[in-house]
């Protein structure tokens, strides 16, 4: 190896050849949960639209990413991801594709917005979610292994469709936390705090997954 005249410099990271860069975008803020008016359900999942502030967040997210090289946009089966993706899709001229496996974790008896009320009330089961770091302590909720397996299927399908490309995936906080837990080997809820309209970045190169960014929200600052 021949040393350069100035020595061996450091260089910025670039994805390995053929690797897929996945921008995991948490959907923008959704409508508030009202106890006597549960959210409409889609496939059993609570399916609120975006809050007015959420539409503003989605516009700011689009402005942040509008000049990046993005080859595809994915959303889930839930409307809040479609509404979050819409401004970015318009800016880039890309029609979003649906990846149903990356929908939010199913909350069983706590679907329709009840989770938020339970959290505010300090329900003991809600506390156990974080003690045990799993959602299936909620009665009827999706089993941990099933949630892990389907989110990996969804990610694998997207990566296989876009080798060497950069894609944006508008998904959910629970999904982002699960994917990054698997990628890094960290505790299950280590990445459970992704903010609405945040950006996390995962580079997938075969069996190797590299976390490059988590919960980037600089575009949301005034």
Written as one string, the DSSP assignment of 191-215 is: TTTPPTT-EEEEEEETTEEEEEEEE
Query: What is the distance between the alpha carbons of residues 187 and 200, in angstroms, rounded to a whole number?
Result: 17
Determine the pLDDT at residue 6: 83
Determine the pLDDT at residue 1: 60
Provide the whole-model pTM.
0.95
> What is the chain's alpha carbon radius of gyration, rounded to the nearest angstrom?
19
| Blockwise average pLDDT, block size 10, the chain, 222 residues | 78 94 98 92 96 98 97 98 98 98 98 95 96 98 98 98 98 98 97 96 97 97 78
Query: What is the distance between the alpha carbons of residues 180 and 167, in angstroms, rounded to a whole number?
Result: 16
List the domains of the chain with CATH numbers. Answer: 21-220 (3.40.50.1240)
Q: Residue with structure tokens 């089993």?
A: 143
């Amino acid at each position: 190896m021949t040393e350069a005249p100035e020595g061996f410099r450091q260089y910025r990271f670039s994805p390995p050849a053929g690797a897929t860069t996945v921008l995991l975008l948490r959907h923008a803020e959704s409508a508030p949960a009202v106890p006597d008016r549960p959210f409409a359900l889609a496939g059993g999942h609570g399916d609120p639209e975006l809050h007015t502030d959420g539409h503003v967040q989605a516009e700011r997210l689009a402005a942040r990413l509008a000049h990046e090289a993005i080859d595809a946009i994915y959303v889930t089966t839930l409307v809040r991801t479609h509404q979050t993706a819409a401004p970015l899709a318009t800016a880039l001229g890309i029609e979003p594709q649906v990846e149903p496996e990356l929908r939010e974790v199913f909350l069983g008896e706590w679907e329709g917005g009840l989770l938020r009320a339970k959290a505010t009330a300090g329900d003991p089961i809600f506390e156990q979610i974080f003690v045990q770091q799993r959602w299936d302590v909620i009665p009827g909720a999706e089993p941990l292994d099933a949630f892990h397996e389907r989110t990996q299927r969804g990610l694998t399908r997207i990566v296989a469709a876009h080798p060497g490309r950069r894609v944006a995936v508008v998904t959910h906080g629970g999904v982002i936390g699960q994917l990054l837990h698997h990628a890094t080997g960290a505790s299950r809820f280590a990445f459970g705090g992704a903010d609405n309209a945040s950006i996390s970045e995962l580079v997938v190169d075969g069996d190797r997954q590299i976390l490059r960014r988590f919960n980037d929200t600089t575009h949301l600052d005034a």
